[in-house]
Amino acid sequence: MSGALEELAAGVPGDISRWFVPGRLEVLGKHTDYAGGRSLLAAVDTGHTLTARPRDDRVLQVSSEGADGTVIFDLDRAGEASTDEPDGHWGGYVRTVAARLEKNFPGQLRGAEVTVTSTLPLAAGMSSSSALVVGLALVLLDLSGLATDPAFTREITTAEQLGEYFGTLENGQSFGSLAGERGVGTFGGSEDHTAVLCGVPDALVQYSFCPVRHERTLELDPALVLVVAVSGVEAAKTGAARDAYNRVSLAVTELVLRWQEETGRPDATLADAVASGPAAVTRLRALAADDEYLSGRLKQFLAESERIIPAASVALEEGDLEEFGRLVDESQAGAEDGLRNQVPETITLQRLAREHGAHAASAFGAGFGGSVWALVPADGAEDFAARWLEAYRAAHPERIGATTAITRPGGGARRVRA
Domain 224-407 CATH assignment equals 3.30.70.890: yes
pLDDT, mean of residues 170-179: 95
Chain segment 278-292, per-residue pLDDT in tens: 999 999 999 999 999
Residue 361 has pLDDT above 80, yes or no: yes
> Which pLDDT score, from 0 to 100, does residue 240 have?
54
pTM: 0.93
> Which pLDDT score, from 0 to 100, does residue 237 have?
52
The answer to whether the 3-219+411-415 and 224-407 domains have the same CATH topology is no
Chain segment 239-281, per-residue pLDDT in tens: 555 677 788 999 999 999 999 999 999 999 999 999 999 999 9
- Where exactly are the structural domains of the chain? 3-219+411-415, 224-407
Residue 80 has pLDDT above 90, yes or no: no
> Which pLDDT score, from 0 to 100, does residue 1 have?
41
> Which pLDDT score, from 0 to 100, does residue 83 have?
63
Instruction: Write the Ramachandran bin of 172: left for phi over 0, alpha for psi from -120 to 50, otherwise beta.
Output: left
Chain segment 81-92, per-residue pLDDT in tens: 776 777 668 899
Chain segment 94-134, per-residue pLDDT in tens: 999 999 999 999 999 999 999 999 998 776 778 899 999 99
Residue 137 has pLDDT above 70, yes or no: yes
Fold that domain 3-219+411-415 belongs to in CATH: Ribosomal Protein S5; domain 2 (3.30.230)
> Which pLDDT score, from 0 to 100, does residue 14 have?
74
pLDDT, mean of residues 20-49: 96
